[in-house]
Structures are given as C-alpha cells and as structure tokens.
Amino acid sequence: MSTRPKYLDKNLSAEERAKDLVSHMTLEEKAAQLKYDAPAIERLNIPFYNWWNEALHGVARGGTATVFPQAIALAAMFDDEFLKKIADVIATEGRAKYNMQRENEDRDIYKGITFWSPNINIFRDPRWGRGHETYGEDPYLTARLGVAFVKGLQGDGEYLKAAACAKHFAVHSGPEGERHHFNAEVSDKDLWETFLPAFEALVKEAKVESVMGAYNAVRGEPCCGNKTLLIDILREKWGFKGHVVSDCWAIRDFHTNYMVTKTPAESAALAIKSGCDLNCGNTYLHLLQAHKEGLVTEEEITKSCERLMTTRIKLGMFDECEYDKISYLENDSKEHHEIALMAARKSVVLLKNDGILPLDKNKIKTIAVIGPNANSREILKANYCGTASKYITLLEGIQNSVSEETRVLYSEGCHLFKDRVEPLALPNDRISEAKAIARLSDVVILCLGLDANLEGEEGDTGNSYAAGDKLDLNLPGLQQMLLEEIIKIGKPVILLLSSGSALAIDYAHEHCNAILQTWYPGALGGQAVAELLFGKYSPSGKLPITFYSQKNKLPDFSDYSMKNRTYRYIEEEPLYPFGYGLTYGKVELSNLKVDKVQIRENDIITISVDVENQSDWELEEVIQVYAKVTGTEYEVLNHKLCAFKRIKLEKAEKRTVSLELKAENIKVVDYHGNRIFDGDKVILFVGTSQPDKRSKALTGQEVCQIELPLLK
C-alpha cells in the first residue's frame, strides 16, 4: 500500500515539505530547477515555472493590468498605509492573471507570482537612470515604504499571496553604463547608515521572500557572488530564510568582466557557494560541469533547490490555495483604477504657486497646452509597466475638465530631446505654433521634462549615449529654449514637470507662476493632474528626493561616499529640499509635546502636536519628524527623517496628531558600521517640511522643535 508523499502533507512546514520533495529529485533535476525558467518534472507533478515577473507599480509586462504611478511618485505620497493597500491590489491582479494563465497552460515569462519588486536602492545621485524605480534618497523613508509594499504584496494569509523581492543587494545606484564591471568602494559608515538599512528592515520586519543581488561589485566582490553580503550579513547576521536570485545575466559578468573566475562553471560555483540560489540568466546551465570538476557539491545544489521549492510551496502551487478563486474579473477593475487615480493625486508635488492655482475653469476662455509631454502616454507608463486599458494624458485631462465655453489650444512645442519634430523639417519646427497659441491664450500650461526613454535601465532604454543615466540635470533638447520663448510672451505660465528624477529648473522657478512635479503619474495621471489644476483637490505630495540648483556642484557620479549627497549631507542650499511640497491651504503646527523627559536606548517616544488647517480647503498634509543628535561625531551632517504621518484635515479643522518615534531611529552609525546610542541630547524638529533654511524660505513657516537629553 503506497503512502502519501510527505511533500503533499499540509500539516508539515513548507521547509519540511520542500526538503522531502527535493529528496525525490536527481542531481540533474535539482540543478535545472535553479534557473529562472525551471523545467517541469512530470513524475513529481511539478509544472514548468518561470520565476521572472515584475510588479514595480502594477503587474508588469504580462498584458492588461492597472498601471499605478511610478515608484518615485508613490514615495512622494509619504503614505505607507496606502502604499500597502496598493501592493495588495497589485497582488490581487497578479493572482487573477496567474489563475487565468494557469488554466490556459500559459506559463510564460512575466506570468508567475514571484515578483522582482520593490527596488529599494537609495537614490543617492540625481543622474542615475533607475532612480525613479526607487522610493527616493532617504534610508528611513525607503525602509518604511518598502516594508509596507512587501507586506501588502505578500499578504497575511495561510499562503503567500505573492512573493516579493528586495533588490538590488547592495550599494547599487549607477552608473548604469558601468554596472557590469563597476566596483563600489564604500565606507563602513555609509554602508550601514545609508545602503543597508532598508534591506535589513525588509528582511527582519517584512519577511521578504526573496532578495536579488546587484550587478556591481562591492569592495572587489561581485554582489551575486559576494559571501560577505549574501552569507555573512544576509543569512547569518539578519537571519534571512528565503531565496536569493541573481540580477539577469549578472553571474556571467564574473568571468567576462570582473575576471574573478575563468569559466562559466567557475562562475556558477562561486555564485551558489556564496548564497545565490536562482540564476536569472543561463550560467547555471554549467552547474553540472562545476559539480563534475569538484567546484560545487550536490549538497550545495540541494540546499538552493530546497529554498526555491519552499517558496513555491508557500505560494500554494502544489495545494488548493485561498487565492485560487480570485477571478480575472478582479484585474484592471474600476475600483483599482480609482485607487491608482487617488495615488496620482496624492503624489503630485506643488513646487511653486504665486496664487494662480487653482485655476477657475469658469473664468478662463482660452488655455494653451504646450510641450512634448502634454499628450504623451510614455510619461504615464514609466518603465517596468503593464498595459493599461485606458490612458488619460495631461492634455486629455485638461480638455475633459474645462467648461464647454473654454477653448484648449495645443502645440507639441518641440521634440522631447531632438532638435525637430518632423525629420525633414528645419530645426525648431514647432516654435512658431507654440508662440502663436500662447499669445492667443489667457494662461499657458507648459508640459516639459523627461520620460522613461531618457532615464532608465542600461539596455532597456533609448538613451544609448548615457546608458539610461542623465549626463546633467538640464531640460533636454530644445525644452529650455521653448520655456524661455514662452515666458517672453508675458502670459501666466504653469509648468507641469514630468520626470522620475530631479531637474535643475532654476529659470522656471524664477519665471513661472506655478510649478507642479507630476512624476510619471500612471495611466490615469492626466485626470489627476487636471483635478489638482482646477481645484477639485489640493496638491499634497512631498519630495522624496532633493532637487538641486544649477549652482550646486554634484560629486563625481562613481564616488559612493555620501559626502555632499542627499539632504542629510548636502553642503549647499538646494533649489527644492527633500520633504518639501506646498498645498492650496495653510497648516499651522503648535504645542509640541513628548511623553518622555529623557530618552533611553530602547524607548518608544510618543510625540503630539496640534495641527490647524487655517484655510477653507480640505487638505492632506504630511507631518514630518527630523532628528539631530548632538555631542557625537557620528551624526549626519544636517538631520535625518525619523517619523512621518500623512493626515487629512477638514476645512478649518484643528486637532492633535500623535506619532510614535523609536529611539532606534535616532541612533548614529560609527566609522565601523555599528549602530549606537551616542551623544548627549537630541533635537526633534516637527513640521510639514525639513527644518532647513530653504524649506523655511519656500514655505514661510517655522517647524516646532524640542530638545531631550539622552540617558545611557
């Protein structure tokens, strides 16, 4: 009488079941499972599975799905609770599509439920092309948003709703053109203060199922074969239990670029012995040869296979699962569109407003909408995106929002980056049209910036001259000229700046009446932006990155020292600071209190502050807490974000808002990378922006502050 295999026993742990399942495989079968396109093992009822799928801001590259704003825009919401809800929606759509595709025996790439998201690298340099995939420049904000995204994606059920992946581990943020041979030299302080905290939080707190290694090397060791990162830190120090996947074809770089190995077999052996379980690429086709040469043991192959099968079991792939009944009708639904629309509204940042906004659609007779991004779908999608069933561009959103009596005139103005729109025309072939409609209009809405073809991933972008990175922070092509020519006409100008990164727009700040940073706002972004322009809602986003001035001198791109980088270490005054963003109203903070008279190392401090909406607008605001520890040489140069909360305020509402601050978040990192409770006191700043001079000048508001001694 046959007994039921242990790997089908749901009473056992996923790890126990995986160990038993793998014990029935041959060496050849185990080795084959370590490649991203893992073959079927029919005698064990294991179907083919392609591990490669993406969910950066919606289920990507696998057909129709809700397209949310790009990750950098989601970060601008400063709303971890809402981001968790968005991630849950993405997981629902991922399951809906997976269930449908499985029924149709479609197991192609981008159709699984192992999502290689989120990207939690630190956006340390505004030239990096992939910065818009991240949650910005701050380790604390990135950690809180990353934890929320992973928890939303993976769910809290009996099984994982989807498997998230923290990438790219570690010290990875350009240059893109050098990533296959670049060695990041980083101090212990910068490593543990800036580049590792978000990964640690996702591993320890969010229990992220997967971690992806980076292309670059750190201190001479390629990340996907880096024992220090993948074994010493990730598994032994942090206790990571999931699986590690290589970035795509990164292991090949070991012998073709880094020259730390001589053959593909040696590269495969180095990666697997260093803790990389799954190969996105094909170098693990040489694992059997590596085993034959004595470079890797069967036990090491077995261990990686067990980790991968554990993930598949945790996802319910071999059982009836609570998520099996999610219908395809739950994908791309009206409800999910509304959530994406809400995210776009929350993410747009009002950088300047001289009072022209919001526009009164009943008083404006003619609007000129000008610019290469005005009617662009590319800026809605960003990179790593799905296919939306409906798009609303900036132009379409404006056209749909004005009164019937209002005339909307449109001109492309110029190409996004070339010197002409039509190939056979003379340079600057749209300028006369743009100037003509500007003269005929009451107000000009100028739509400039970038798209994901100008900033993106090496090999995944048309920006071949810079491999996806920006050469500088200027508007590309003829856009600056277009801006200046339109300004000269003398009509009120509102700039809609669409980009995934900071641009140095000093001239625009000086001459435009209002500026909105729209990011890449998702498929329905044009509607959200129009709703903000015409006052249906008030803008409420905050910058998750610093916008540098043209006067600021950027450090060398390849220098990974944090000196003079990001708001924590900047030595000059920027154009727009991290955490900055205006609304249509005014919020006053007062009566700051804490429930401690001194702080101990393991304390949780409750902060309360009275918040008053001194306007007749319904507003959302972000209360931000920054810390500056004194009496220690290890504190950041300026100050650091340590708590935040997005709140909603009714017209003229006044109430007390409470936030929790962990003493852990005010610790400093010494030169050896140790996080320590050091110093004599901490100054806490609480406001709707940073406590820097530039934020005060832009907002006209002071932040509240309080000093507390540290008790050791």
Give the angle subtended at the CA of 519 by the CAs of 348 and 353, to the nearest 5°. 45
Nearest in space to 79 (alpha carbons), one of 346, 341, 335, 344: 346
- Helix pair angle (139-154, 80-103), 10° resolution: 40
Pairwise CA distance, residues 442 & 439, whole Å: 8
Phi, psi of 93 (to 5 degrees): -65, -35
In angstroms, the CA 581 to CA 497 distance is: 14
* Phi–psi pair at 482, nearest 5 degrees: -60, -45
- Return all residues near 156 (Cβ < 8 A) that are at least 6 apart: none
* β strands within 235-323, DSSP E: 243-245
Whole-number Å distance between alpha carbons of 104 and 697: 60
Structure letter (DSSP) for residue 329: G
The side-by-side arrangement of strands in the sheet containing 443-449 is: 349-353, 514-517, 493-498, 443-449, 366-370, 407-411
Residue 98: helix, strand or coil by DSSP?
helix
Taking the C-alpha atoms of residue 489 and residue 444, their distance in angstroms, rounded to an integer, is 10
- Assess contact for 285 and 31: CB atoms under 8 A: no
SS3 395: helix
- State how far the Cα of 217 lies from the Cα of 44, in Å rounded to an integer: 39
Transcribe 23-67 into DSSP letters.
HTS-HHHHHHTTBSEEPPBGGGTB--EE--BB-SSSSBSSSB---
Closest by CA position to 462, among listed 476, 474, 448: 476
Calpha distance 523→568 (Å, rounded): 33
> Taking a C-beta distance cutoff of 8 angstroms, is the pair 423, 415 a contact?
no
Closest CA to 377 of 369, 365, 367, 385: 385
- Judged on CB neighbours under 10 Å (0-12, 13-18, 19+), 572 is exposed
Tokens of 24: 């029935």
Nearest one of 627, 695, 636, 691 to 665, comparing CA atoms: 627
Q: Taking a C-beta distance cutoff of 8 angstroms, is the pair 247, 213 a contact?
A: yes
- SS3 percent helix, strand, coil of the chain, rounded to 5, is 30, 20, 50
Residue among 26, 385, 322 at smallest CA distance from 155: 322
| 610 belongs to the catalytic site | no
Structure tokens at 361: 């659609």
Of 147, 118, 97, the closest CA to residue 55 belongs to: 118
549 by Cβ neighbours in 10 Å (0-12 / 13-18 / 19+) ranks as: middle
Retrieve residue 435's tokens: 């100037």
Please give the distance of CA 332 from its chain centroid, rounded to a whole number: 22
The span from the CA of 456 to the CA of 132, in Å, is: 8
Catalytic residue among 80, 221, 247, 266: 247
* Cβ(206)–Cβ(151) below 8 Å: yes
The structure tokens listed for 135 are 């949650």
Look up residue 465 and give its two tokens. Answer: 């001259």
Quick check: 408 and 331 in contact, CB under 8 A?
no
455 is catalytic: yes
| Residue 452, helix vs strand vs coil | coil
Backbone angles phi, psi at 592, to 5 degrees: -70, 130
| Given the residues 88, 455, 621, 692, the one annotated as active site | 455
d(CA 257, CA 255): 6
**Which residues are catalytic, by number?**
247, 455
